[in-house]
Amino acid sequence: MYSLIIKIVRFFFSIVYNITYYNRENIPKGGGFIAAANHQSNLDPPLVGIALDGKYSFIAKAELFKNKAFAWLIKKLGAFPVERGKGASEPIEHAISDVKNGRILVIFPEGTRSKDGKIGRAKSGVTLIASKANAPVLPVCIRYGEKRRFRRRKIDIAFGKVISPEQIVIDGTDRKALKQASELIMGRISNMMDNMP
Read off the DSSP letter of residue 114: -
Q: Read off the CATH number of the domain in which 176 is found.
A: 3.40.1130.10
CA dihedral 96, 98, 102, 107 (to 10 degrees): -80
Q: Which tops the pLDDT comparison, 187 or 76?
A: 187
Non-local (6+) Cβ contacts of 73 within 8 A are: 5
The reported pLDDT for the residue numbered 85 is 58
Express each pLDDT in 39-62 by its tens digit: 999 899 989 999 998 888 998 888
177: containing domain: 2-195
Residue 150 has pLDDT above 70, yes or no: no
Structural domain count of the chain: 1
The predicted model scores a pTM of 0.90
Among residues 47, 102, 53, 45, the alpha carbon closest in space to that of 75 is found at: 45
CA angle 113, 116, 119 (to 5 degrees): 65
pLDDT of 156 higher than 90: yes
Query: Cβ contacts of residue 48 below 8 Å, gap of 6+?
Result: 35, 37, 106, 140, 142, 157
